[in-house]
Amino acid sequence: MADRVESNCRSDCSLFWRVFSTICLPFTLPYIIFKIIDIVKERRYRECLPGKVVVITGASSGLGEALAHVFFLAGCKVVLCARRRNELERVRKDLLALYTTMETHSPVILPLDLSDISSLPLKIKEVLEIHGHIDIVINNGGVSIRSDCLSTAMDVDIKVMLVNYFGTVALTKACLPSMIERKQGRIVCISSVQGKFSIPHRSAYGASKHALQGFCDSLRAEISEHDVKVTLISPSYIRTALSVNALTGTGEQYGSKLLSHQELDSTTASGVSPSIVAKRILKAVLRDEQDVIIASFAPKMAYWVRHLFPTLYFWIMARRAQKLNAPTVEEKN
């Protein structure tokens, strides 16, 4: 009896390994090999990271501030860019105060406004005069909006596109000549999952991020021969003040209306920590990744539904829009 049980166990194990080697191994083995290659590549590039000049826009708060910490801790020469000089000074002081036990490079503060496109080449010229070159530019600065298409004034559409798209393009173009001349460099653009698929009440924001997706895809191909890389990051909701600082359809600050729109930003409040996203972006740079989605299961599923089952996606979004457009109890009264 014991021999029979042992024989059955051997038979089951043999069957398991036959099934595993036939079905799973052809998929798991290449996955493991690629993972090992990624880890080796990441470690090699991490050794080269100290001393790299990294320009970060939107560095005065949120994800930009988290990126400043991550790249500064990695030994980079960070250039902090945003409109608010006082907030940039605060971030700079925090960096120098938090990492006193390690050898670091003093951060450079560069106030700039992405909507002032004509001034951006001069700002990049200032960086080149200080450091001589730029290794990585992280286009993180931007503005969001909470408004349906019909309620959004045309000048607000223009402002969102100006900051999120044209500002990023102008800053990137100002950095490219020196990168191409040196045959090295990386452009990192922080987009959004809403650049992959659109949702109601984000028409202007989604349009700007879709435009950024198209720009990065074309640019990546065009400058590949010059060994300049492009990395596009598409995160889902991050726990930042982006929604508070977002615009309404009239151009007002959305934060002043949060009390009547709390349900719209519960997703932002429960979003991923900026430090976690910043570390993932650093890893994407080290692994030379080209197009990265940083999101939970639901946004990734929405992405695939949009492309594989568009009719279903459109129906879901229409239902969502109807729910958002429905009057609240206060409005009914």
Catalytic residues: 205
193/189 Cα distance (integer angstroms): 13
Q: With beta carbons less than 8 A apart as the criterion, state whether 222 and 178 touch.
A: no
Q: Which residue has the tokens 């009440």?
A: 201
Backbone angles phi, psi at 257, to 5 degrees: -110, 10
Ranges assigned E (strand) in the chain: 53-57, 77-82, 108-111, 136-139, 185-190, 228-235, 291-294
Question: Strand, coil or helix: what is 139?
Answer: strand
Distances (CA, A) of 312 to 296, 303, 306, 315, 316: 20, 12, 8, 5, 6
Among residues 273, 272, 264, 259, the alpha carbon closest in space to that of 243 is found at 264
57/62 Cα distance (integer angstroms): 11
- Please count the helices (runs of H) and the strands (runs of E) in the chain: 13, 7
Helix (H) or strand (E) holding 39: helix 25-48
Distances (CA, A) of 112 to 66, 123, 146: 19, 7, 25
How far does Cα 164 stand from its chain's mean position? 12
333/329 Cα distance (integer angstroms): 6
Q: With beta carbons less than 8 A apart as the criterion, state whether 288 and 48 touch.
A: no
Strands of the sheet containing 136-139, edge to edge, are 108-111, 77-82, 53-57, 136-139, 185-190, 228-235, 291-294
Q: With beta carbons less than 8 A apart as the criterion, state whether 187 and 137 touch.
A: yes
